[in-house]
Chains A and B, each alone.
Chain A
Amino acid sequence: MVEKVKEATRDTVLETATLEALKDIDVAGGGAVARRKAPPPVLKPEARRQTPSVGQRVPRPDSRPHGTGETLYIDDMTLPGMLFAKVKRSEHAHARIVSVDTSEAEAMAGVMAVVTGHDVPVNSFGPSYQDQPILADTKVFHMGDGVAAVAAISEQIAEQAVERIKVVYEPLPAVFDPLEAMDENAPKIHDPAPNIYTRKVIKKGDVEQAFAEADLVLEKRFSTQMVEHVPIEPHAAIASWDSSERLTVWSALGRVTLGRADLARTLDLPINRIRVQSTFVGGNFGGKNEITMEPVLALLARKARRPVKGIYTRHDEFVSSTTRHPFIMDYKTGVTKAGRILGRKVRLVADGGAYCSWSETALGKAAILSAGPYVVDNLHVDAYAVYTNKTMAGAMRGFGAPQVCFAYESQMDDIARELAIDPLEIRLLNAFDEGSPSPTGQVLESVVVKNSLLTAADRFGWKEPGQ
């Protein structure tokens, strides 16, 4: 069967090649003579001509300084008079902040500035919805929320000062399970907003009809866990003001222009007074795609009139920086005996944690990709992003793609097993071709999925069971 599909693939390629050749019809000459060229080698992009460096060995320009230890990451930089910041974090997943008493910390020798959420001019940010406080002021929404921050002459003093900040909380019922959070009676995390903050629906064809016609309908729930990026370099930034009230921020942030806009908004400062200096980054993976403590450092630096550096601890990284969304994915797929997918129904619930962050983007991508690289004429995708009182989920390598990939590929294997079809074969049978429409109607070009599958199967020696 694999051989047959190989043939079929070649046919497809030939067809494509013929189409390409037809474009070359010599109209100028008046005669409809197709200059049929020999078909190009099978779907091989002519990379060398497009980008001469592809396939060449090029030393990374930063390799050598990385290897000698010269590269300066943020924590390796020091400005004269620089202070160190530490953030006081919530002790509750969900609570009302009754009071924050910073007096003891402020009185400590070596402490140069303390700020709370009330010091933030515009205390909200976020790439899609501005639902995240810079420092929580009225409520904490998860354990990683900062409630106050300290700048001191040493990291150790800053750490001790944070311990002396007294916060009184009134705990609120917390929700940790995204399915529970979707319940109408669940505590509203960002009251009065509903816990479901984003929904994406894709409808194509008639899934119910497809299920009725199918020889086999499989249904299963798949779920994935929360994943932290764990860049070896923790989040890091330095903020410094000059005498004309201009702010410079050195940050390991991946999106400097977005960060600059967020700084301007939250500090209520004209954007031209802010300079964000990007630096070497010790790993991002999507986790350094939005500001974290940059505005806090800026406020501390303004108060102390000295530059302030802030480095996340590994604990901060885990509780307070974004993560990859845990997904709960319900898949129902109808197939013919031969293994052809007739229809698929998908319900995705993305646990967004306490804030939206990049959930909008991740959920959209997950929804579009949830049918897999397969031709599914009848599709119904219903996708939700939901608030819970957990560390927020955001961007991470693939923006929702790895989660759904785990689900659709697992189900593909289940179907293959159920129908006793080779797992490779069933994929070749259903995979996209040149010109296949995506679930949202995009006509796909440069489709190489079948070739990739075959090449991969060849390289790792895939054999149909029994062969």
Chain B
Amino acid sequence: MQQAVGGSEAVVTTLGPSPMLRCEGLRKRYGDRLAVDGVTFSIAEGECYGLLGPNGAGKTTTISMLCGLAVPDEGDITVDGFEGGTLEAKAAVGYVPQDLALYPDLSAVENLTFFGQLYRLSGKELQTRIGETLELVGLADRGKDRIGTYSGGMKRRANMAAGLLHRPKLLVLDEPTVGVDPQSRNAILETVGKLGIAVLYTTHYMEEAFKLCDRIGIIDDGHLIAEGTADALIGDHGGRDKVHLSCDGADLDELAAACRELENIHDVHEVDGNLELSTDHGPAVLSAVVAVATRHGVDLTGVEVRSPNLEDVFLSLTGKELRD
């Protein structure tokens, strides 16, 4: 499933014959900074694809090119079979920008009316869609209020409504949950979860990508450095489970040596006066580890098992923390 990015034959194995979105070798330069450098990925119909990366990784730049807001210096984009940037491609995309892009002086309904008209919706159909979409994002009762009077989370939801109104085949969400309260955040995630259309979701919250996305691409410094399902990425790059033993003032050397003797323990090292063990399956070794500690008269004040996550994947791939 998971593959190193760059091998284009690997991409083909993951995708159906006609993906909703296909980007190949995207490159974008701003001055002498390569914001996006050779990004290739595809999204199948109905698939939720997460683009996970830190600040400045090139997520927004990639999205701008997909939505026809920026012209790639190199590379090809196809949306629903149409060349990126054409009116047909634009019509197929629902773009939800990172920053609020609605008119604060107008109400949600007025904003949606305008954006709906831009996508050639009108009359009764437009009115129905506006009602449905506001319902979907949980703003049905605030539709008549000006966007300027909304809370931050409500603004984000309204922003998303503007991208969903014309029922796009591909929804592009640029960090829709940044700076959003947990309630709105859940509402947004829930909405995206039940859409069933192709979604490109950028975020630097690994939990979101993990929960929401069928596949995840990890982007850093303009490069897509890995791609696959969350499980595959973690399996391949996340490393092993960690068992953390807090042991106050004990003789660690002796305990460490004893732990190394245990089966399925790959590595033992000291961290700040405590021990950390690497293992393939943390819970399985736990009882043996505790028994060894007891035998050596070490008083364990805490035991913690931690499975690897996407954060570890990023760390192992780049040597950097995802969030700085």
Say whether A associates with B.
no
Question: Could you tell me which A residues sit within 8 Å of B by CB distance?
Answer: none
Instruction: Show the binding face of B for A, using Cβ within 8 Å.
Output: none
